[in-house]
Amino acid sequence: MTSATGTGRRTALTWLTDVLFAVTFLAVEAAAVFVIWLREGMAAWAASYDDGPPPGHGGTLVALGVVTAFAVLLAILLAWRRWPLSAVTQGLVAGALALLMVGIAASEHRDDRPAPAPTHGSYRPCLSGGDSHECPGG
């Protein structure tokens, strides 16, 4: 006599357990990402009162990397334990977090570029109310 799980058949209870695992892990990761987002927002808000440069996203990328690694490892473990819905959900979460990390890193890289310098050495803005001699070419 073989068991229901040994033959590959899944009962309603195993599907319900799979759904509960998927929802639980998704909620835990959403809470972790919310805390990371809240920390990033509070740091940006605090930095808005300083005159220095804005803070980097290094801590945020590390924290998101930890959550992403957790999701990848959990997806592998759940696939090995044959919880397909939970494994796919964790794979999608890991992919979404990886894309978020790439976007944050790209925006940080874009912010590092200096502002372009004016192309004309004697550039003066044209002020309203002035005559044509104040404006370039006029």
- pTM of this structure: 0.68
Average pLDDT value for residue range 97-118: 77
| Res 107: pLDDT | 81
pLDDT value at 1 more than 50? no
The chain-wide mean pLDDT, for the chain, equals 82
11 pLDDT band, cuts 50/70/90, is confident
pLDDT of 49 reads: 82
* Residue 122: C-alpha distances to residues 67, 80, 105, 126, 135 (Å): 52, 68, 37, 12, 11
> 13: pLDDT confidence band, cut at 50, 70 and 90?
confident
Contact 22, 93 (CB under 8 A): no
Residue 7 above 90 pLDDT? no
Q: What band does 2 get if pLDDT is binned at 50, 70 and 90?
A: very low
Is residue 124 a contact partner of residue 105, using CB atoms and an 8 Å limit? no
